């Protein structure tokens, strides 16, 4: 589970800061926020012991 959380967080960071790292990096738009919400939900569920 932690692997999925870390991967989602890294993808979110790449989407959020990718434009400033390289102008050719694709724009992700709303996917950034979707990944963040999914990662946060997984963290909360993991900490609560549900998953």
* Angle at CA of residue 37, ends 26 and 17, nearest 5°: 30
Asked whether the CA dihedral 47, 49, 2, 25 is positive or negative, the reply is: negative
pLDDT, block means (10 residues), the chain with 51 residues: 78 70 65 76 86 65
Q: How far apart are CA 27 and CA 16, in angstroms?
A: 9
pLDDT at 19 (0 to 100)? 62
pTM (2 decimals)? 0.51
pLDDT of residue 21: 64
Q: How many domains does the chain have?
A: 1
- Residue closest to 8 by CA, chosen among 30, 29, 34: 34
> If you count them, how many residues does the chain have?
51
Tell me how far apart the alpha carbons of residues 4 and 45 are, in angstroms, rounded to a whole number.
Answer: 13
Residue 37: domain span: 2-48
């Amino acid at each position: 589970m932690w692997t999925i959380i870390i991967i989602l967080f890294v993808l979110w960071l790449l989407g959020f800061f990718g434009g400033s790292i390289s102008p050719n990096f694709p724009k992700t738009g709303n996917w950034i926020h979707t990944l963040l919400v999914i990662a946060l939900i997984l963290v909360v569920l993991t900490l609560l012991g549900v998953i």
